[in-house]
Chain A
C-alpha cells in the first residue's frame, strides 16, 4: 500500500513540476522531456523506496539475530522440557505401581495345625500359609505429592481369598525444616529392619519366626510418626510412633489415648566403597485388652484364652552389605540379623468360653534370626536363614496347671535360590525345615513369583 502511494505521488510531482518551471521550445520536445523526467523521477522514487526497504530488512535481521542469541541463552539457562503429551488433567494422576505375586507351596505337615510351641500365637496372619497353588498378596500402590507441603501414599493389598485391605495409607510432610519428617495415617512402624519394608522386598517368602511371634508378621498401626535425621556425616535417625496399637501385640481398644508407642534409632554408614551398614534399636509398648487367642488345652481340645496388660518389646537390628567397589551388578552379599526380647505383664484368662479362670501372667521371651543372601552371578542369588525362639520364663500364677512350658525352642532353617531376569521380576525357590512345633519337622517347599508393574519403585537400604 505504502509503495503504491509513493509512486503515485512521485508521478504527480514529476508531471506538475516541468510545466511550471520552464517554458517549452516545442510541444513535442517538451513532451519527450516530460516523459524522460517522469521516468527518471519514477526510478529515483523506486530506488529510494528499495533502499529504505533494504535498511528496514537489515534492521529486522539484526533484531532477529539478537533475539535468537538471547533465546539461545535462555534455552541454555532454562530446562529443555518436552511439552507433556498427556492431557493436562491426567498429568496429575498419582504414580501407580502394582505388585503381583503367587506361589506354590508343598508343606509336609498340615499348616492348619502350625504353631510356635510355648508361644502365644502372634495374631492371625502368621504361619506357613496354604498348601498348593495360591495367589499371594497383590499390592496396588498410589503415590504423589499432595501439594507443596505433603505427599500421600496408599497401598491396597488384595489377598488370595478376595479381601482388600488398606495395607498402608498415609500422608507425609515434605517440607519440615531441620531434618524432621512427620507421617500420619496407617503405616509400618520404623522399628526393626524388615518391619518397615513391604513384604515383596524381603529376601525370603515368609517373615522370620521372631517377626511372627512378636509382631504378628509385621507391625503397623493407625497413628502418627515423627522422624528426625541428624545433621551429621554418619547417618543417625531417631523416630517415634504413636498410634492405636490395634494389631498384635496390641489389641483393638475403645480408648481416646494412644494404644501403642514405638521408639527407634538407626545409625549407619560406609566402610570404604565396598561396605555399608546400618544398625538400630527399637522399643514398642502396647497395652492389649482381651487379646484372645486359640490354644490347645492339656487334653488337646481347643480353648480360647485372653490376655490383658502391657507388652514391651525390645529390638536390635543390623544389616551389612558388601559389593566390590559398591557395584553389586555381578556379585554382592547381604548379612542381616535381628534380636527381639519381650516382657508381658498382666492377666491371663484361661478358657474364656467356659471356665474363665483369670490370674496374673508374666513372661519374658526372646527370639532372633540371622540371614545372608549372596548374589553369585548376575540375576542369581542364594540365601540362608536361621530362626530361633526362646520361650524363656512364663509365670501363669494359679493357672499354671493348665499350661506347660516345656522349654522347647522353636527353630527353622531356610535355604532359597532366586532368579531375577530384570529388576522388575523375580522367581524364587525356597526350602525350609520348620521345627516350630515341638517334636514335629515340617518340610516346606515354595515356588514363588514376584513381579512389579507400573511406576518404578525405589527401594530402601
Chain B
C-alpha cells in the first residue's frame, strides 16, 4: 500500500519534472503557437483553451489551476478577455511568479494599439472591454509586435538561452514578414468589402484588410442573437448589402447560417485562432486559411 502510494506520487511528480527550463501556459492557442515558434524545445507549452472555446467564458477548471501552479510564464491576451476565469487560476494556484505585474505574466494586448476603446463604460452596452477590443490576433501586424515583446520576455526570464530566443525570433520575423506580404497581396481585392460579423471579434482583421463591417449579429457584444434581431439585420441588409458573414470557429453557427440563406450571401467560419480548423495548424496556417476563405468567398 505504502509502495503504491509512493509510486503514485512519483508518477504524478514525474509528469511535471521535465528538462525544459520554462513552463509556459498560454491562455489562448495563438499565444501557445507563438511561444512554440519562439521557444522551440526550450519550453514546455500548455495551452489552456482550444479554438472551439470562447475565451471570454472558460471554467476555472482544476486542470488549469494545476497548470498555472507549475507555470513560470503565463502568456495571455489581457484587455480583460480572461477576466472571468484567469484571476481565479492565479489566486488559487498559489504561484507568485505568474501574478499580474510579475515578469511571469505576459499580456499580449499591452503591446499593440487597441481598437474600439469604449468612450463610455456601461454594461447596458453589452460585454464591453474598458481597454478596447481584445481579439488582437486577427491582424498579423499585431502578431509581429507581440512576437518581438515575447521574445524579449523569454530572454529576460531565461537569460542563459537569450541568444537562442533571439535567433528564433529573427527567423520567425523574416518568415512572418514574407508571409504578410503574400497575404496582403492576395487580399488586396478585399479592400472595402462590406461584411457582417457575428460577434465584434474582427476589428483588427477589418483594419488590416480594409473590410467594412456593416452589421453584427449580436445585438450587443456578448449577447446571443435573437430571431427578432436577426430579422432586423436582414431588413437592414436590403438597404446596405454585405458580401459575406463571418464568425469565429467557436461561435454557434446557426445565426449566421440563418442569415446567409435569407440574404443569399456566404457565411464563413474563420478559424480565428490556431486549431480553428484543419488548415490552421499554426500561425501561418491560420492566416493562410483566413485570407484564402475570404478571397474565395468574395469572388
Proximity bits, B258-277, A CB within 8 Å = 1, else 0: 00000000000000000000
Interface-side segment among A27-35, A113-121, A163-171, A323-331: A323-331
Kindly identify which residue among B53, B61, B96, B152 contacts A176, using a CB–CB cutoff of 8 Å.
B96
Cβ contact within 8 Å between A175 and B62 = no
Q: Is the C-beta of B88 less than 8 angstroms from some C-beta in chain A?
A: yes
Interface set, chain A 260-315, CB cutoff 8 A to B: 266-270, 273, 276-278
Can you list 10 A-B pairs, Cβ within 8 angstroms, ordered by A? A79-B107, A79-B111, A80-B110, A176-B96, A229-B94, A231-B69, A233-B12, A330-B252, A458-B60, A461-B88
In this complex, the member of B57, B65, B88, B93 whose beta carbon has the largest number of chain A beta carbons within 10 angstroms is B65
CB-CB < 8 A to A273: which residues of B?
50, 52
Kindly identify which residue among B57, B126, B149 contacts A76, using a CB–CB cutoff of 8 Å.
B149
Per the CB 8 Å criterion, the residue count for chain B at the interface is 55
Cβ contact within 8 Å between B252 and A378 = yes
Interface set, chain A 400-435, CB cutoff 8 A to B: 421-424
Given A270-B61, A329-B252: A379 and B224 interface contact (C-beta under 8 Å): yes
Cβ contact within 8 Å between A267 and B107 = no
Cβ contact within 8 Å between A267 and B15 = no
CB-CB < 8 A to B149: which residues of A?
76-78
Q: Is the C-beta of B164 less than 8 angstroms from some C-beta in chain A?
A: no
In this complex, the member of A233, A270, A273 whose beta carbon has the largest number of chain B beta carbons within 10 angstroms is A233
Q: Is the C-beta of B70 less than 8 angstroms from some C-beta in chain A?
A: yes
Cβ contact within 8 Å between B62 and A267 = yes
With CB as the reference atom, state the residue of chain B lying closest to A278: B62
Given A77-B149, A461-B62: A175 and B113 interface contact (C-beta under 8 Å): no
In the bound complex, CA of A330 to CA of B57 (Å): 12
Interface-side segment among A9-17, A44-52, A177-185: A177-185
Cβ contact within 8 Å between B92 and A229 = yes
Q: Is the C-beta of B59 less than 8 angstroms from some C-beta in chain A?
A: yes
Q: Is the C-beta of A162 less than 8 angstroms from some C-beta in chain B?
A: no
In the bound complex, CA of A82 to CA of B129 (Å): 14
Interface-side segment among B78-86, B186-194, B202-210, B284-292: B78-86
Kindly identify which residue among A181, A232, A277 contacts B12, using a CB–CB cutoff of 8 Å.
A232
How far does the Cβ of B120 sit from chain A's closest Cβ, in whole Å? 12
Q: Is the C-beta of A88 less than 8 angstroms from some C-beta in chain B?
A: no
Kindly identify which residue among B53, B84, B145, B250 contacts A458, using a CB–CB cutoff of 8 Å.
B84
CB-CB < 8 A to A456: which residues of B?
80, 83-84
How far does the Cβ of A184 sit from chain B's closest Cβ, in whole Å? 15
Q: Is the C-beta of B112 less than 8 angstroms from some C-beta in chain A?
A: yes
In the bound complex, CA of A460 to CA of B91 (Å): 10
Kindly identify which residue among A175, A229, A422, A459 contacts B222, using a CB–CB cutoff of 8 Å.
A422
Cβ contact within 8 Å between A460 and B62 = no
Interface set, chain A 312-345, CB cutoff 8 A to B: 321, 323, 325-330
Per the CB 8 Å criterion, the residue count for chain A at the interface is 57
In this complex, the member of A76, A172, A453 whose beta carbon has the largest number of chain B beta carbons within 10 angstroms is A76
Cβ contact within 8 Å between B117 and A459 = no
Interface set, chain A 202-247, CB cutoff 8 A to B: 227-237
Cβ contact within 8 Å between A459 and B57 = no
CB-CB < 8 A to A78: which residues of B?
111, 149
Proximity bits, A69-81, B CB within 8 Å = 1, else 0: 0000000111111
List 10 additional A-B contacts (Cβ < 8 Å) besides A80-B114, A234-B12.
A229-B66, A232-B12, A232-B15, A233-B15, A235-B63, A325-B50, A326-B52, A326-B59, A422-B123, A460-B92
In the bound complex, CA of A330 to CA of B66 (Å): 27
Cβ contact within 8 Å between B53 and A326 = yes
On A, residues with C-beta under 8 Å from B are 76-82, 151, 172, 174-181, 227-237, 266-270, 273, 276-278, 321, 323, 325-330, 378-379, 421-424, 453, 456, 458-461
In this complex, the member of A78, A175, A270, A326 whose beta carbon has the largest number of chain B beta carbons within 10 angstroms is A326
How far does the Cβ of A225 sit from chain B's closest Cβ, in whole Å? 12
Cβ contact within 8 Å between A174 and B99 = yes
Cβ contact within 8 Å between A276 and B252 = no
In this complex, the member of B13, B69, B148 whose beta carbon has the largest number of chain A beta carbons within 10 angstroms is B69
How far does the Cβ of B174 sit from chain A's closest Cβ, in whole Å? 16
Cβ contact within 8 Å between B96 and A329 = no
Cβ contact within 8 Å between B59 and A328 = yes
Cβ contact within 8 Å between A229 and B59 = no
In the bound complex, CA of A181 to CA of B107 (Å): 24
Cβ contact within 8 Å between A458 and B62 = no
Cβ contact within 8 Å between B63 and A327 = no
Kindly identify which residue among A76, A181, A268, A327 contacts B94, using a CB–CB cutoff of 8 Å.
A181
Cβ contact within 8 Å between A82 and B107 = no
Q: Is the C-beta of B223 less than 8 angstroms from some C-beta in chain A?
A: yes
Given A327-B54, A424-B123, A461-B60: A229 and B65 interface contact (C-beta under 8 Å): yes
In the bound complex, CA of A227 to CA of B65 (Å): 13
In the bound complex, CA of A424 to CA of B70 (Å): 32
With CB as the reference atom, state the residue of chain B lying closest to A180: B94
Interface set, chain B 213-265, CB cutoff 8 A to A: 222-224, 250, 252
Proximity bits, B122-138, A CB within 8 Å = 1, else 0: 01001100010000000
CB-CB < 8 A to A327: which residues of B?
52-54, 250
Cβ contact within 8 Å between A458 and B86 = yes
Cβ contact within 8 Å between A227 and B94 = yes
With CB as the reference atom, state the residue of chain A lying closest to B114: A80
Cβ contact within 8 Å between A268 and B61 = yes
Q: Is the C-beta of B87 less than 8 angstroms from some C-beta in chain A?
A: yes
Cβ contact within 8 Å between A229 and B83 = no
Cβ contact within 8 Å between A233 and B16 = yes
CB-CB < 8 A to B93: which residues of A?
179, 229
